[in-house]
Chains A and B, each alone.
Chain A
């Protein structure tokens, strides 16, 4: 860990030294990796997302902006918000759980792909699908423990969230992060200990979804309610999950 910090410190110093020549660099979520690139060091970002549910109001702005960004076909969702209702009056609550691809460090979907159409990018850790290679066998859809994938009805190939790689590569944040009115979504480089996301993960209790699957997700949650109608946390009380997807139940 201290090595990592030292490296980061060195790269920042180099960056400051080189800053005169790269003054065009603006402030952005991807500033730290850019700094490393400008300084010529081998810093590889590993992108992740943190969703702070204390700030989420369940407005679906993320889902809508994702739909708009990718023109996701009707009935399919790359990004969605689940509502969890539980309890009996007057002791009731409603929690929100925004969902997307977890860009796992051990992605099961990649392990089962027979054509090599999906892989975890070495340069930034984003799990991507190449629709030109994918044959639509649906193996990855079944292998994903998060139901993050679906068959795109237009291309007939597997489709899912790709962390808006076209935006991220331009130094922008993903569309859902941009649209979040409560700033509940924080996107950034998990490899950089000075990034906002790394600091927040270090300072807060965070959880991931279905960690027992061993997939090592890179989407973290603060204050998430892991209640599931079939799970161990429902305490025998009334629980209803509304996925806001075509299939009403989690799977």
Chain B
């Protein structure tokens, strides 16, 4: 099937990056709230990595979207500002406003994690951080869900037009958000922290890694349900899903790239490190190499999931005329 894609790599990257950012924001705010004390909570160090990561991919993703616009390509550099002149029920319109709010909140939220943040004394910084984290959790979830609704809103694209795509993107966003946070943490954390910090570091790592295994399990279940229901129906949806089933154009990328490399292998490796603590209460520790490689592989898998879904939706359409 030779077809020009309306939404190409910038949109794929945007859906992936916005997911990572939204996931990191939600996860960071959640574990921060879970960790207790505002100043020196249990997970505050890990939440800091997530908070600093979150706004970056969201903003890069939004920037990429502008490059994909037809108006930008023909030299109308600022025409995209028309998005801010209206608000209607188009998922893209709601998403625009939602993303704008999320970007602002995530930037301010990250700012409250700066030690000695200029212009923000601690007695203001800590309450602000707590309030913003209550805002950041729903905003991150909403942003992640929105990336799926954006695709799901069109009956003309049978591959996308399913409520489960948004759920798949949400779970993938949380999983890749955790992976992004763990990756940044693995790259920048101190080699020999003091015992207290090291203990918290290990507990946060265990919480996130265990959550990630659970999320990947959910993701596999959603993928199974998506394929099963699509395959059991007849007509356009069945035809559409056949591109990722055996013999389809995108089958190798989907099964090898998304399912095996992106989900199964990282979940297995993460399980190897979780199970001893889960069953025998041993200490949770991960070698730095694994700490870096596993989240990186999860991120690659998340990107390939977006790639497969975005391309599959565009090379398939309604059956008949």
Contact = CB atoms under 8 A, between A and B. Distances in A.
Interface of A: 97, 108, 111-117, 133-139, 141-145, 147, 151-158, 209-210, 212-214, 226-228, 230-233, 246-251
B229 interface: no
A114 B69 contact: no
A209 B320 CA distance: 9
Contacts of A136: 69-74, 79
A157 B76 CA distance: 10
Closest 9 CB pairs of A and B: A136-B70, A156-B74, A231-B320, A114-B92, A156-B70, A145-B156, A114-B93, A136-B71, A138-B6
Contacts of A114: 83, 86, 88, 90-93, 95-96
A156 B7 contact: no
B88 A97 contact: no
Contacts of A233: 320
B134 interface: no
Contacts of B153: 111-112, 143
Contacts of A134: 70-71
A138 B85 contact: no
Contacts of A142: 6-7, 154, 156-157, 313-314
A133 B82 contact: yes
9 contacts: A114-B83, A115-B82, A136-B79, A142-B154, A144-B156, A155-B70, A156-B71, A157-B71, A209-B321
A135 B80 contact: yes
Contact of B93 (A115, A209, A210): A115
Nearest to A210: B318
A173 B107 CA distance: 56
Interface string B94-125: 01100000000000000000000000000000
Contact of A213 (B80, B155, B239): B155
A145 B318 contact: yes
Interface in B233-279: 239
B191 interface: no
Interface in B269-301: none
B154 A230 contact: no
A250 B94 CA distance: 31
Given A117-B82, A226-B320, A112 B71 contact: no
B89 interface: yes
B28 to A, nearest CB: 29
A135 B74 contact: no
Nearest to A131: B71
Contact of A135 (B82, B90, B154, B317): B82
Is chain B's interface secondary structure helix, strand, loop, or mixed overall? Answer: loop
B214 interface: no
Interface residues on B, range: 35 or more
Contacts of B68: 137-138
A135 B79 contact: yes
A101 B79 CA distance: 26
Given A136-B72, A142-B156, A233-B320, A249 B3 contact: yes
A133 B88 CA distance: 14
Nearest to A149: B6
Given A135-B69, A136-B73, A210-B318, A112 B6 contact: no
Given A116-B88, A230-B320, A157 B70 contact: yes
B149 to A, nearest CB: 11
A228 B320 CA distance: 5
Contact of A145 (B80, B89, B90, B155): B155
Given A135-B76, A145-B317, 8 more contacts: A108-B155, A114-B83, A115-B82, A138-B68, A139-B90, A154-B74, A156-B72, A249-B1
A212 B235 CA distance: 11
B86 A228 contact: no
A248 B2 CA distance: 9
A114 B87 CA distance: 7
B319 A228 contact: yes
B4 interface: yes
B91 A112 contact: yes
Contact of B6 (A115, A141, A156): A141
A106 to B, nearest CB: 10
Contacts of B73: 136, 156
Contacts of B83: 114-115, 135
Contacts of B82: 115, 117, 133, 135
B319 A116 contact: no
A75 to B, nearest CB: 10
Given A135-B71, A137-B69, A231 B1 contact: no
Contacts of A212: 318, 320
A247 B5 CA distance: 11
